[in-house]
Amino acid sequence: MAILITGGCGYIGSHTCIEMLDAGYDIVVIDNYYNSKPEALRRVKEISGKEFPFYECDIRDAEGLRKVFSAHKIEAVIHFAGLKAVGESVREPLMYYDNNVAGTVVLCQVMAEMGCKRIIFSSSATVYGTGNPSPLKEEMPTGAVTNPYGRTKFMIEGILADLCVSDPEWSAVLLRYFNPIGAHESGHIGEDPNGIPNNLMPYISQVAIGKLQKLSVFGDDYDTPDGTGVRDYIHVVDLARGHVKAVGYALEHNGVEAINLGTGVGYSVLDLVNAFKSANSVDVPYAIAPRRDGDVATCYSDPAKAAALLGWKAEKNVEDMCRDTWRWQSQNPKGYDE
Ligand code: NAD
Ligand code: UD1
């Protein structure tokens, strides 16, 4: 019996492969390499000291998926495969609905056909939209999203919930990630964004290494302690371990559950800049810039449900997140392109 990991070559997927292997699971990985490189999985194998099957396969390719499900006995799927750039989703909405929403529908159709009805889905805190106060709890209303990327996550949550209603054999765990940052402790795998990063932590680390000149801090007039945006940053290895727990849960329970994966603690942009500087003894020049469209002032989780249902809580602190990001960035200034 094995767990299929879609998008397992990407940032969160590669870290999850390691934690799943360490926990003793057999895994099978598929990815279409749209936003990742084979080198990531080569390093996963090196770090874990284990081999596993990989297929270059698109989740929209039903025939390709059938071959994978026929070759292996798949008990459950961890579904990371998806596109995630907010700005790009505004410019290319159909590409996002096709890849993320239609792709998930094809995946679930093949799963049902092959008798595998357990899925752990990568959702996002973005589904809480703009109307809810932090700490964000799973029972709060969702759907007031500000962009097509967020809408794909909201739509897929609804599709998986409908599936669980239609057939009580289905189990769907909707993991709502807060802000994953950091890298594996080894420094061998981490986030390798294409082009100029959109997200704060990869931007900070590329400024620190001199690839980018200075960070623009998007707004210092929010209603927060220092005026800059507050987020719930979570170490990617903690997040990966949350998936191991979620697989255990999905194997034992049917029905749908949305579960936050966050620390429950908010840090401002300037908190993170200062933590990065002091953890790594590097400089991070920055300038205050206008607010970014679609940003909220504050977003952090109530992580109680993950503790209660999964027995999981984040263990790493912001210093670990900054130190591990820098180890990856400084050892791999060109990402996986060495
Ligand atoms: P990533 O881009 O590093 O990984 C996604 C992987 O999926 C990539 O390797 C990509 O090549 C693959 N992929 C994309 N479309 C595919 C398709 N049609 N068929 C097969 N493979 C495909 O992203 P990540 O940061 O590891 O995110 C993983 C998941 O978590 C995504 O669904 C993302 O939306 C979600 N998520 C990420 C964050 C974040 O901050 N990184 C936050 C919330 C949710
Ligand atoms: C963003 C996305 C969200 C997605 C998440 C993970 C938007 C509006 N939201 O979340 O949908 O799920 O990434 O991919 O894009 N910041 C700066 N300067 C920068 C970059 C960011 O000041 O160069 C600030 C932002 O204003 C924010 C904080 O840093 O206050 C975190 O930003 P980011 O890392 O992009 O994450 P989110 O906006 O929380």
Reported as a pLDDT band with limits 50, 70 and 90, residue 194 is confident
Query: What percent of the chain shows pLDDT beyond 90?
Result: 96
pLDDT digits (tens, 9 = 90+) for 201-224: 999 999 999 999 999 999 999 999
3-state secondary structure of 96: helix
**Shortest CA distance to 129 belongs to which of 295, 306, 305?**
295
Reported as a pLDDT band with limits 50, 70 and 90, residue 338 is low
For 205, left (φ over 0), alpha (ψ -120 to 50), or beta?
A: alpha
Neighbour-count burial for 265-278, b at 16+ CB within 10 Å, e otherwise: bbbbbbbbbbbbee
Reported as a pLDDT band with limits 50, 70 and 90, residue 294 is confident
**If you average pLDDT over residues 14-33, what whole number do you get?**
98
To which H or E segment does residue 330 belong? helix 318-331
With the most atoms of ligand 1 within 8 angstroms of its CB, the residue from 54, 84, 154 to mutate is 84
Residue nearest to ligand 1 atom 41, measured at CA: 180
Distances (CA, A) of 49 to 22, 43, 58, 242: 10, 9, 27, 22
**Shortest CA distance to 247 belongs to which of 80, 35, 126, 124?**
80
Let me know if 55 is a catalytic residue.
no
Return d(Cα 334, Cα 84) in angstroms, integer: 21
**Shortest CA distance to 289 belongs to which of 330, 242, 202, 228?**
228
Reported as a pLDDT band with limits 50, 70 and 90, residue 292 is very high
Indicate if the pLDDT at residue 186 is higher than 70.
Answer: yes
Catalytic residue among 11, 25, 149, 203: 149
Distances (CA, A) of 108 to 62, 81, 216, 237, 278: 10, 13, 41, 27, 46
How high is the mean pLDDT of the chain?
Answer: 97
pLDDT digits (tens, 9 = 90+) for 107-130: 999 999 999 999 999 999 999 998
Q: Within 13 A of 74's CA, how many CA atoms are on the CB side?
A: 33
Indicate if the pLDDT at residue 32 is higher than 90.
Answer: yes
Return d(Cα 261, Cα 172) in angstroms, integer: 15
Query: What percent of the chain shows pLDDT beyond 70?
Result: 100
Q: Is the CB of 8 under 6 A from ligand 1?
A: no
Q: Is the CB of 259 under 6 A from ligand 2?
A: no
Q: Is the CB of 218 under 6 A from ligand 2?
A: yes
pLDDT digits (tens, 9 = 90+) for 33-44: 999 999 999 999
**If you average pLDDT over residues 247-256, what whole number do you get?**
98
Lookup: tokens for 323: 């130190």
CA 78 to centroid of ligand 1, rounded, Å: 11
- Sequence-distant (6+) residues with CB within 8 A of 179 are 125, 199, 200, 201, 231, 232, 233, 234, 262
Q: What is the predicted pLDDT for the residue at 276?
A: 98
Q: Is the CB of 99 under 6 A from ligand 1?
A: yes
pTM, whole model, 2 decimals? 0.98
Q: What is the predicted pLDDT for the residue at 337?
A: 86
Place of tokens 């890298």: 183
With the most atoms of ligand 2 within 8 angstroms of its CB, the residue from 231, 236, 293, 318 to mutate is 231
**If you average pLDDT over residues 23-47, what whole number do you get?**
98
